[in-house]
Structure 1
């Protein structure tokens, strides 16, 4: 199958959307599919206001359409709601072509946290963007219920996975962890206001707090919490070692659609503490995580969970299965290969 994926999020960005698309693309390649990625690195771009790490592509609808037509896809997927996917959306609608979309990010909540714009205003745009899609892919039942409540229909399941060759309980912990007071409490992800990292750093649980990742809030949080450790971004086996060496993984976000880092932590044997919100509610079980409106209470109780149970649950998530769900959710184009530019 020839699959075109248009996305406003791509390397060198490091986030759950990019990591999901990269992992699924690798699985699609292994399965023999031909995949075209149309991403911001192919065009001139500008930094996103308030989030300069994200580049916004500057291009014309016909330019994106010519790239799609030249590839002659059997299916088109628009992964994000940014300007590049808007151009692809316009082109698909112009020629009456089916396409699928995905809801990766709690965009209304993110915009509200960053700008003060009411989330309801942003939901109007989200409804408009996804309305003509032949299928809207979402990762969990909670998110599908949320989208349905906001009038978004034709919802399809697309789960997430873990690289089980990398994220294992026997990954060696980083040198930083040697000698740190226990319990080691770990956060991994973007260090940004919408991730609610400060709630973790303010939680009154003895031990050591470690924040792995980069982002616009990192410098301010480091200044306000000098006792916490900020080693920067980690990847691959080094990241797996941080998960495996921690006593508890803390997921303070209230705005994620899934939380890929949670299942990576579980696969490495680390129990999870989180708020009872979408993402954790869909991923965690009573044996692998604790959800509580009091994050400190969740951390203390999660420390009592069995690491073997966590690792077993983490191993149940597969990128191969995620890629298969993605393919199943696509809507094939009639007469693929004969799209007019």
Structure 2
């Protein structure tokens, strides 16, 4: 099958959209499918306001359409709602080419947090963007219900996976972990206001707080919370070691559509503490994590979880299954 995937999120960005796109692309090409990736690095771009590492492609629908037309795909998928996918959407509608979309990032809520304006102001754009699609992918039942409540339908399932060759319980932790007071409580992800990192840093539970990742809020938070250990960006075996060496991962976000870091940590045998919101409610079970409106209570209960059970559960999330769900959708879209 020939599939064109257009995305505004691509390397060198580090986020869940890039991760999902890259892994499904690799899975599909390994199965013999032909996949065209249309990404911002193929066009002139400008930095996104407040997120300069995110490049926004400045191009015309005809330029994007030329790449798609040359490839002549059986199915076209738009991963994001930014300018590159907007151009592809325009070209598809003019040429009466069917396409699918995905709701990977809860931008209405993110924008509300950054601007102080109600998310209701932003939802009309997303209804408009996804409206002509044959269907929209949602990663969890909660997100799919949220989309339906906002008038976006039909919605199909497309879950996420873990690189099980990399994320394993036996990976050695970083040297710093051997000198830190236990328990080691970990945050992994972008350090930005929409991730609610401050809720993690203000948790009262004893032990050591470790943060992996980077972002626009890091400098300010590092200055305010000097007792926390900010390790910066990690990937591959280094990231797996941080997961495996921690006693619990704290996932404080109230806005994520899934939260891949949760299943990566679980695959390393590390339980998860979170708020009872979309994402954690869809991923976690009482055996492998704890959810509570009081994050300290969630941490306390998560620390009691059996690490072998966490690792076994984490292994059920594979990129092979994620790719199968995506491919089933593409076949339906033909």
Contact 1:187 1:210 survives alignment (8 Å): yes
Q: Greater relative contact order: 1 or 2 (C-alpha under 8 angstroms, separation 6 or more)?
A: 1
Q: Give the 3 Å change call, closer, same or farther, for CA 284–333 of structure 1 in structure 2.
A: closer
Contact 2:3 2:35 survives alignment (8 Å): yes
Partner of 1:163: 163
Q: Secondary structure of 2:181's partner?
A: coil
Partner of 2:103: 103
Matches within 5 A, 1:83-94: 83-94=83-94
Matches within 5 A, 1:291-302: 291-302=291-302
Partner of 1:70: 70
Contact 1:75 1:332 survives alignment (8 Å): no
Matches within 5 A, 1:239-318: 239-318=239-318
Matches within 5 A, 1:1-341: 1-330=1-330
RMSD between aligned residues: 0.9
Q: Secondary structure of 1:330's partner?
A: helix
Q: Distance in 2 between matches of 1:325 and 1:37?
A: 18
Q: Gaps spanning 5+ residues in structure 1: where?
A: 335-341
Structure 1 length normalisation: TM-score?
0.97
Contact 1:173 1:242 survives alignment (8 Å): yes
Q: Secondary structure of 1:5's partner?
A: strand
Q: Secondary structure of 1:35's partner?
A: strand
The alpha carbon displacement at 1:154 in A equals 1.1
Q: Distance in 1 between matches of 2:307 and 2:331?
A: 40
Q: Distance in 1 between matches of 2:13 and 2:318?
A: 23
Q: Structure 1 residue runs of 4+, over 4 Å off?
A: 331-334
Q: Distance in 1 between matches of 2:117 and 2:36?
A: 35
The alpha carbon displacement at 1:224 in A equals 0.4
1:14-63: per-residue Cα shift (whole Å, max 9, x none)?
Answer: 01111111111110111111111101111111111121121110001100
The alpha carbon displacement at 1:117 in A equals 2.6
Count of matched residue pairs: 334
Q: Give the 3 Å change call, closer, same or farther, for CA 60–264 of structure 1 in structure 2.
A: same
Q: Distance in 2 between matches of 1:247 and 1:333?
A: 44
Contact 1:40 1:56 survives alignment (8 Å): yes
Q: Secondary structure of 1:47's partner?
A: strand
Structure 2 length normalisation: TM-score?
0.99
Contact 1:135 1:331 survives alignment (8 Å): no
The alpha carbon displacement at 1:332 in A equals 6.0
The alpha carbon displacement at 1:230 in A equals 0.6
Q: Gaps spanning 5+ residues in structure 2: where?
A: none
Q: Secondary structure of 2:64's partner?
A: helix
